[in-house]
Every structure is written in C-alpha cells, then in structure tokens.
Amino acid sequence: MGRRLTPPERPESPLAVPAFRALWIAATISFIGSFVQDVAERWVILDLTGSPLPSALMSTAFVTASMLGMLPAGVLADRGDRRSLFLLSQLVQGAAAGVVAILSFTHHLSPGVLLGGAAAVGLGMSIGSPAISAMVTDLMPRELVAEAIALNAVAFNIARAVGPAVGGVVLSTFGATTSFTLNAASFLVVAVVVVSYPLPRHRHAGAHTPVLEAFVEPMRFTLRDRGLRAVFIGMLLFSAGASVVYGLAPAYGKQAVSATPTQYGLMFGAMGAGAVLVTRVLRPIRPRVAPRVLVAGTAMLYAASALGLSRVHSIALATLLFLPAGAGWTGTFSSFTTLMQLWTPDRLRARTIALYTVVHFAMWAVGTSIGGVLAERWSVRSAMFAGASFCVLASVLTSRLRLPPSFVGPPGSLPPPPA
C-alpha cells in the first residue's frame, strides 16, 4: 500500500488526495450523464407506450438487477481485485448505454429494449459498487473517510440538481440518441480515470474461502457484532420513514405546493446544497460527539424539516426547508455508512457493504410503496407527515442504540494510506 504518511503529509481533505479527487469529478460527470439518460428514456418509453406504468418499471428494472448482482459482487470484491471489478462495472454500464444509443439511432428502440438497458446498467452498477466503496478506506486516513463518503453523496446531489435540467435541454435540442451517447461517454470518463490513477489493487489472503461461506460470513458477523448490528437497525429505522418522504417529493412539488418544473428543480437543488454544507459542518463535530448522538441529531433535523414541509403552502418556504432536509439526509446516511465501513474487518468489508446496500434498497422499495398507498388513501401531505413522524421515532430510538463509539474505526483496523 506504500509508505506511511507522516502527519505533515496527511491531506486536509479527501479532495486533496489526487486519485479520490479525480474519481469524484468523474463520478459527478457520470451521475449527471445517468440523469440525462433517465430523462430521455422515460420520455421515449412514454412516447412508445402512452402509459406511465412502463416508465415506473424503469426504476424497478434498475433496482431489481442491482439487488440481484450486489451480493455476488461483494463476494468477488473481497476475494479478488477491487480495482478491476470497478473498471469492469464502468465498461458494462457504458456498453449498455451505448447499445441503447445505437438502437435509438437506427430506430429500433422498444419498451423491452429500454427496460433491458436499465437492468443492464443496474447490474453493471452493482458489479462495481462494493468494490469502489471498499476502496475509499484504502485511499486516505481513517479520519477523512466519513467526509469522503459524504462527498460521494454530494456528487450525487449535484447531479440530481443539474442532471435533469441538462437532460431536458439535450433531449429537446439534440434528441434521445445524443442523451444515450453522452451517458455512455460518461462511463468511459470514469474508466479512463481508473486506468490512469494508481488505485489500490486489493487481494485478500482468504480468497479461497468456500463460496457459500463467503456469502454467509458477513451476515453472521453482522448479527453477532453489537455495534454493526446497531448500525443496520438504525439505518433501517431511518430509511423506513425517510423513504416515504423522499418518494413523495415529486407529488408534493406538483400537487401540494403547485410548483412549476423549474421551481421543483430549485427545491431539489436546495436539498443538494444542504448536502454540500453538511459535509463541512460535520467534519469538526464528528471527533467530539458520540456517533449515536450525532446521527440522532441529523435524523431529527431531517424529521423536523419533513414535518415542516408537510404543513407549509409557500414554495419559497418549502425550498428553504429542503435545505436542512438535505443536510439531515446526507448527514444521517453518510454517518451510518461510515460506521459500517470502518468497523467491518477488511476481509469482510466489500461483502458487508453489499449486504448493507441490498437491505437499504429493500427497505427503500417498501417505504416508497407504503408512502404511495398512504398518499392515495389520505393525501400527499398526510403521508409525508406520517413518514416524518416515523423519522422522529427513528431519531429517538437511534439515540439509544449501542452504535460504534467513533467515526474512525477501531485502532489499527485499516492499513496506512498510499503515498
């Protein structure tokens, strides 16, 4: 892994680490490309079918394929070369987007092709997700891992704020084929970064663990380890309520406050801005506050913002409330993810990340479905109030969980960062 850095050489921020900075910029570009394609493919599939159901099934295809591939990918990332897996994932996603672009150019697109493309991108994402998440801990000192994970969330929030607008302009000006081509190119940008920078090549000594044991081991460890078990419980509690609120955000913008598409984009932009701000605010706080207190606080911040959103009728006030909501959202999830990664042994890290992601996706699917049912039966505001109320309960229960005692992991748990 290279020589140990002396204190003066240690980076002040994850973005001061050249490999992480390049990956972060490339990932932001790739996220934007994904949103550009998302706008185009949903528009095209509506044109082809005239029904909103196939459009909704695009997300289902992506998430289902991701969940199916995630655990095997975690096993491979702990048994083999994480860098190569991440590179493969970018090539698979780029190829899937490229095929859709070619079929669009030749006028051979169909709903089945678009759904298959979404599933292929989801599978490609799952191949590399545990690997790159595990590599974050190898790239920098432990005390910067929490900020690095939060910065990854910031990259997604930036793309979520910018991507749909860019996608709309590209679709209306150049057409769907260009949208798909740009997304394919964005994955190649990440692939070039992976090849160009000396990312860690992880190979674990226990690579010959029997396959069945490799799948079972992280589940057994999570159930037996008190701190890690508490992280999973806390994440599930918060996800159950937060997913209800987040899943109803589009309906809230359109129906509850009658926002225009531009105003709705500004609301989500405010949420992204909150995510950016919280990474700087929490950095000096994390070493001084117990994780259970900090996470309970950020969860309560999200809950209070969501409760406010369920009551206000002003677009301006709603936009302002999305700012602390973004801070609470990113602060909570990045903290849980940091604790999970740093308090898991390296030999299990990628598999535990995969397990964590699958559990999170499953709860997310359940929560958004429940939110939709509640909104149909009552109203969007009432359903959001219910989700926010559950987040209040999640915050209180999290403050009582026996989470790991710090955000830097157990002493000696990680190798020194590369020079």
- Residue 247: Cβ-neighbour burial (10 angstroms; 0-12, 13-18, 19+): buried
Segments of the chain assigned to CATH 1.20.1250.20: 8-208, 209-409
Q: In angstroms, rounded to a whole number, what is the distance separating the alpha carbons of residues 302 and 398?
A: 14
* 342 and 414 Cβ atoms separated by less than 8 Å: yes
User: How many beta carbons lie within 10 A of that of residue 223, not counting itself?
Assistant: 10
Residue 180 confidence (pLDDT): 96
| Token code pair at residue 168 | 């709309």
pLDDT, tens digit (0-9, with 9 covering 90-100), for 272-320? 788 888 988 998 999 999 999 999 999 999 999 999 999 999 999 999 9
Residue 355 confidence (pLDDT): 96
Could you please state the CATH topology (level 3) that the domain comprising 209-409 is classified under: Growth Hormone; Chain: A; (1.20.1250)
Residue from 87, 83, 85 nearest 418 by CA? 83
Residues of the chain with pLDDT under 50: 1-8, 205, 414-419
| Token code pair at residue 390 | 């559950």
pLDDT, tens digit (0-9, with 9 covering 90-100), for 86-112? 999 999 999 999 999 999 999 999 999
Class of domain 8-208: mainly alpha
* 72 and 218 Cβ atoms separated by less than 8 Å: no
What is the Cα Rg of the chain in Å? 21
Residue 52 confidence (pLDDT): 63
Q: State whether the Cα torsion 299-304-310-315 is positive or negative.
A: negative
pLDDT, tens digit (0-9, with 9 covering 90-100), for 168-194? 889 989 999 999 999 999 999 999 998
Q: What angle do CA 391, 397, 403 make, to 5 degrees?
A: 115
Letter string b/e over residues 144-169, b meaning 16 or more CB atoms within 10 A of that residue's CB: bbbbbbbbbbbbbbbbbbbbbbbbbe
* 89 and 77 Cβ atoms separated by less than 8 Å: no
* 199 and 19 Cβ atoms separated by less than 8 Å: yes
Residue 203 confidence (pLDDT): 54
Q: Which residues contact 168 (CB under 8 A, 6 or more apart)?
A: 39
Q: In angstroms, rounded to a whole number, what is the distance separating the alpha carbons of residues 251 and 310?
A: 12
